């Protein structure tokens, strides 16, 4: 395993011509002889690809498309993905965003593996344990590689008729499932549809439904307990985060999902769909749904951390600028957060940096306890990607139950490349 700081610029690219097969097997956390249930081969290329509705662009593809193919598994199935790099010059990896895989499968160049060079392959194997909506993306020079196309949806145990909608902006062109403009999906009037929204961009996106009421049924892969029916409100999808909505398609007309307000929308059903502006009100996940036990006691924390995000003048990679800080320190001199297996961890995140940061912790889900001193009262709000606005303070908690070295970074991948990165490390 190559250690070192990975993704503010790019992890080391491995030397030698080993293939994924002889490389990965030591680190499999499932027996090497267990046959895979879901077998996927992905070939990454640097090439020009189509953006239906908007021409084409130069970027990166997986199996000649961007986004790459949707990976679907049932809970408990063993997923095996062979990644081959045909022509991406900086090397690539795949990270299973939001899936709490064993550390060896996490796909972070420079932390859990070396980047896969041109001509090499690498095999990932993990058991799909967490039902829900996820995505995958390269974690090597990710601010460039994700933006230019190396990502795709990953869904564990979807229902029949679910609509998966991955939103991504290529060169200022916002798309849904790789298309620009109105994207139509058939559904019979009267049918109940679950929409799985994935925000693969660097910034938050408001979504809303014109033509029907809806419920927010899951956040970052976790089901919401007793979600209220919402009308005339938007809901925010954190950068990197996922929101699942459920709605009933009316008979005789279609519904339209606003995706941040541009021309790219999702239309479900037959007939005309109303178009409206973003509603003025927003669902607050802090008080949405009905509370239920967390399964652990955040009051009895073994570790308490404070995580202050700021900004100050200095040099980064030799360049002068205003750079991000964590607890006053600039990358790579930021603190690591050290835990032991089984610890209950409570962390206060404060952002006084002047910008919003979608903070993403690998390998774990954390529950929000409070925001700006107001305690959470709704369904437990479990996230892997949390939108922390400037001036906000969040208290979060989780049980450290997945040993390894885990990245904890801003999912505005440009900010991560500028050093807004730390790690959670198990002793
Ligand atoms: Cu979606 Cu560290 O990433
Ligand atoms: Cu940020």
For 274-295, what is each residue's pLDDT tens digit? Answer: 988 999 999 999 999 999 999 9
Give residue 95 CA to ligand 1 midpoint distance, Å: 7
The CATH number of 163-282 is which of 2.40.10.340, 2.60.40.10, 2.60.40.420, 3.10.270.10? 2.60.40.420
Q: Output the pLDDT for position 15.
A: 34
Token duo for residue 360 = 């993403």
* HSE toward the beta carbon, residue 363, CA cutoff 13 A: 23
Beta strand segments in 78-231, E: 78-85, 95-97, 121-127, 132-137, 151-156, 163-170, 173-176, 182-185, 192-199, 205-210, 214-219, 222-223
Query: Where does CATH 2.60.40.420 sit in the chain?
Result: 20-156, 163-282, 303-426
- Is residue 253 pLDDT above 80, yes or no? yes
Q: What is the pLDDT of residues 77-108, one digit of tens each?
A: 999 999 999 999 999 999 999 999 999 999 99
- Written as one string, the DSSP assignment of 247-268 is EEPPTTS-EEEEETTSS-EEEE
**CATH number for the domain running over 20-156:** 2.60.40.420
Question: What CA–CA distance (Å, rounded) separates 68 from 178?
Answer: 9
Question: What CA–CA distance (Å, rounded) separates 251 from 325?
Answer: 53
Q: What is the pLDDT of residues 291-304, one digit of tens each?
A: 999 999 999 999 99
- pLDDT classification of 30: cutoffs 50, 70, 90: confident
Question: What CA–CA distance (Å, rounded) separates 160 from 177?
Answer: 18
Give residue 120 CA to ligand 2 midpoint distance, Å: 32
Q: Residue 353 CA: which ligand is closest?
A: 2
Ligand 1 atom 1, closest CA: 97
Contact 256, 265 (CB under 8 A): yes
Local structure of 122: helix, strand or coil:
strand
Q: Helices then strands (H, E): number in the chain? A: 3, 32
Give residue 160 CA to ligand 2 midpoint distance, Å: 36
- Pick the closest to residue 54 from 230, 180, 143 (CA basis): 180
Q: Residue 417 CA: which ligand is closest?
A: 2
Contact 28, 131 (CB under 8 A): no
- Pick the closest to residue 360 from 166, 1, 96 (CA basis): 96
ipTM strictly over 0.85? yes
Question: What CA–CA distance (Å, rounded) separates 399 from 343?
Answer: 6
Distances (CA, A) of 230 to 197, 216, 245: 17, 8, 10
Residue that is written with structure tokens 């390998």 in the block: 363
In ligand 1, the atom with minimum distance to the C-alpha of 407 is 2
Burial class (CB in 10 A: 0-12, 13-18, 19+), 310: middle
Q: What is the pLDDT of residues 359-400, one digit of tens each?
A: 999 999 999 999 999 999 999 999 999 999 999 999 999 999
Question: What CA–CA distance (Å, rounded) separates 236 from 357?
Answer: 14
What's the pTM value of the predicted model, to 2 decimals? Answer: 0.93
Token duo for residue 232 = 């005339």
- Percent over 70 (pLDDT), the chain: 93
Give residue 415 CA to ligand 2 midpoint distance, Å: 5
Ligand 1 atom 3, closest CA: 97
Q: Is the CB of 143 under 6 A from ligand 1?
A: no
Count of beta carbons in the 10 Å neighbourhood of residue 49: 18
Question: What CA–CA distance (Å, rounded) separates 368 from 395?
Answer: 6
Burial class (CB in 10 A: 0-12, 13-18, 19+), 157: middle
Average pLDDT estimate for 148-169: 97
Contact 413, 137 (CB under 8 A): no
Is the domain spanning 303-426 CATH 3.10.580.10? The answer is no
- Is residue 175 pLDDT above 90, yes or no? yes
């Amino acid at each position: 395993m190559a250690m070192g700081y990975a993704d503010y610029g790019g992890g080391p690219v491995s030397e030698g011509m080993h293939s994924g097969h002889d490389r990965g097997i030591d680190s499999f956390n499932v027996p090497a002889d267990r046959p895979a249930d879901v077998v996927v081969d992905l070939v990454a290329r640097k090439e020009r690809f189509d953006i239906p509705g908007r021409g084409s662009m130069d970027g990166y593809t997986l199996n000649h498309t961007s986004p790459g193919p949707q990976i679907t598994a049932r809970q408990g199935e063993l997923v095996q993905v062979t990644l081959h790099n045909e022509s991406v010059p900086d090397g690539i990896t795949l990270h299973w965003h939001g899936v709490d895989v064993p550390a060896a499968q996490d796909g972070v160049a420079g932390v859990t593996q070396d980047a896969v060079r041109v001509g090499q392959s690498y095999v990932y194997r993990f058991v799909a344990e967490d039902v829900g909506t996820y995505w995958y993306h390269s974690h090597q020079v990710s601010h460039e590689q994700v933006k230019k196309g190396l990502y795709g949806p990953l869904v564990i145990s979807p229902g029949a008729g679910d609509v998966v909608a991955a939103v991504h902006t290529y060169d200022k062109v916002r798309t849904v499932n790789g298309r620009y403009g109105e994207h139509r999906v058939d559904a019979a009037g009267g049918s109940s549809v679950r929409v799985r929204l994935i925000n693969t961009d660097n910034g938050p996106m408001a979504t809303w439904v014109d033509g029907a009421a809806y419920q927010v049924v899951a956040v970052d892969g976790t089901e919401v307990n007793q979600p209220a029916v919402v009308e005339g409100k938007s809901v925010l999808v954190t950068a990197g985060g996922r929101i699942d909505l459920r709605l009933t398609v009316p008979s005789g007309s279609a519904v339209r999902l606003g995706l941040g307000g541009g021309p790219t929308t999702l239309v479900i059903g037959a007939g005309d769909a109303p178009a409206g502006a973003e509603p003025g009100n927003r669902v607050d996940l802090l008080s949405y749904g009905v509370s239920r036990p967390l399964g652990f006691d955040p009051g009895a924390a073994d570790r308490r951390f404070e995580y202050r995000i700021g900004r100050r003048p200095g040099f980064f990679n030799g360049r002068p600028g205003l750079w991000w800080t964590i607890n006053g320190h600039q990358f790579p001199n930021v603190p690591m957060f050290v835990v032991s297996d089984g610890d209950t961890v409570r962390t206060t995140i404060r952002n006084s940096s002047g910008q919003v940061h979608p903070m993403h912790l690998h390998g774990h889900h954390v529950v929000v306890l409070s925001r700006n001193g107001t305690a959470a009262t709704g369904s437990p709000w479990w996230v892997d990607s949390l939108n922390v606005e400037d001036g906000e303070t969040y208290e979060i908690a989780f049980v450290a139950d997945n040993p390894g070295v885990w990245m904890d970074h801003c999912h505005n991948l440009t900010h991560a490349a500028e050093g807004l990165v730390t790690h959670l490390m198990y002793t």
